[in-house]
Amino acid sequence: MNNFMISAKRFITNKNTVTIIGVLIVLIILYWGYKSTIDSAVNPVNVPVANKLIGPQTEITSSDIEWKVVASAGKPSSVLMRESDIVGKYTAVNATVPKGSMFYSDVLVNFEDLPGTWLKKIKTDVNGVIDTPYYLAVNMVTSFGNAIQPDTYIDIYMRAKDESELVIWGKLIENVQVLAVKDMSGEDVFKDVSSNSVPAYLYFGVPEELHNLLRKALYLSSQGVEVVVVPHGGAKPVTGDVEISSAYLRDYIDALSAVVPTDEEYVETLDGTTPSTNTNSNSNSNNG
């Protein structure tokens, strides 16, 4: 027994033996690492792919997805692997997902990241009549220090002077929902709050009648008419539809505006007479 222990000790402490054992250990580690890499590369995985061509700015639904088995090595790191990370997203502007293609994180975006998405928020009434899109220019001061945000409500006031130089001031339109706030470059101000973007425009939708009224008021700026945005305030919360708040201010604007004749009225003037552009402060048929 003692002779066996002595022989074993001599074998283990032999330099050649130690070298051989070390080489064997290194070879085993290299083989294990190589085998793991190969197994990982060829290991089949299930990935979601498009079952049809999906165009730009299109919402992805579960019906757009099927599953395909691919080798791990053929799956880029930007591929989305979970259906929950895909459904509800939109393809980016000028981006498509071909049939059979995987879904990549740099191709899909949130709805809010698409340009012009505020237009899709414009209201439609029960008769299918959609509001008219409109925007007002603002700055850091007139937006109350960037306090007016999307989905908040504003009232639109009007300021002017009458013939006696007396100030006319009042609420023209109320209950207007802001749909987007953008800077001079057309970027959403609140998309990245760390960028300290300065608001330049408030976007919203209003019924055509009010759209025409606002247009008239802004075109009358040379005559001292000014519209002012104010965050919706007062004792009661926002209720009801967007509406004219002051018939007096509406009539004041109409009194300074020419009435556009209807097509029927215009046809009657084609005998050589000039279409009437008389003002009519009580007419609502053509003032929007």
- On average, the pLDDT of the chain sits at 79
Q: Tell me, what DSSP letter sits at residue 281?
A: T
Q: First CA to last CA across the chain, in angstroms?
A: 113
pTM above 0.85, yes or no: no
Does 288 score more than 60 pLDDT?
Answer: no
Q: For 99-110, what is each residue's pLDDT tens digit? A: 999 999 999 998
Q: Domain spans of the chain?
A: 2-42, 44-113, 117-257
Across the range 161-183, mean pLDDT stands at 88
Q: For 55-89, what is each residue's pLDDT tens digit? A: 988 999 999 999 998 877 666 788 999 999 999 99
Query: Can you point out the beta strands (E) in the chain?
Result: 44-50, 65-71, 90-91, 108-109, 132-137, 153-161, 167-177, 180-182, 201-206, 226-231, 243-244
Across the range 115-127, mean pLDDT stands at 79
pLDDT for 7 equals 59
Domain over 44-113 is classified CATH 3.10.450.50: no
What is the torsional sign of CA 159, 161, 165, 167?
A: negative
Buried b (16+ CB within 10 A) or exposed e, 141-171: eebeebebebeebbbbbbebeeeeeeeeeeb
**Alpha-carbon gap, residue 233 to 54, rounded angstroms:** 44
